[in-house]
Chain A
Amino acid sequence: GAGVSQSPSNKVTEKGKDVELRCDPISGHTALYWYRQSLGQGLEFLIYFQGNSAPDKSGLPSDRFSAERTGGSVSTLTIQRTQQEDSAVYLCASSWTSGGLDTQYFGPGTRLTVL
């Protein structure tokens, strides 16, 4: 079946502009995670959605970052007033339930470049 998809695959933007990154999880997966991966670095947890519950935003690096998940499916990560240090690959992952019990499946990522 279809895996996790993300769009766009690449995004180049100018400093100060807002960007929206989209994630389509695997159908039926209730848990959705966003991560950031800077060049040569590990994965940094950003935010977690579980069903229709309030998201765990504890990993968001600043108030310029926000995310929503509509209808318990598609998620959008928004970065306002982008900075050069926001340049990274943003990965989305989904799982059937909370990741502690189920495998996370990763999307291909969105490579964000802030000029």
Chain B
Amino acid sequence: GENVEQHPSTLSVQEGDSAVIKCTYSDSASNYFPWYKQELGKRPQLIIDIRSNVGEKKDQRIAVTLNKTAKHFSLHITETQPEDSAVYFCAASNPTGNQFYFGTGTSLTVIP
């Protein structure tokens, strides 16, 4: 089955700096890669996703890149703000969408 690894497990950045979180996956058939943000005590919420037919997607300060050959994808947050502090999870899904595999999460702290 699929195996998703996520790094780093914790990340601290100064406000205004960029943050990068990386994930790798093992199943070359996976074709959908969402990223979720989970604030303390709250449910995960989708912040951005990418499908395997594109290499990069941006939404304001957030971008995701995908390298299918290397089987890795990354989340980039620019101009970080304290409210970006949360746990971020990457995930990979097979083409039928019946199973999602999540990374172990990255706890991001943005220091004011």
Contacts and interface: CB of A to CB of B under 8 A. Distances in A.
B64 to A, nearest CB: 14
- In terms of DSSP, what is the predominant structure of the interface of chain A? loop
Contacts of A91: 43-44
A59 B103 CA distance: 15
Nearest to A43: B102
A12 B49 CA distance: 35
B72 to A, nearest CB: 17
B98 interface: yes
Interface in A49-86: 50, 56, 58-59
Contacts of A45: 99-102
Interface residues of B, number: 26
Contacts of B100: 33, 43, 45, 99, 104
B20 interface: no
A98 B98 contact: yes
Interface residues of A, number: 28
A43 B44 contact: yes
Given A99-B93, A100-B32, A50 B43 contact: no
Interface string B88-101: 01010111111111
Contacts of B45: 106
Given A48-B99, A99-B100, A100-B95, A41 B32 contact: no
A100 B101 contact: no
Interface of A: 31, 33, 35, 40-45, 48, 50, 56, 58-59, 91, 97-109
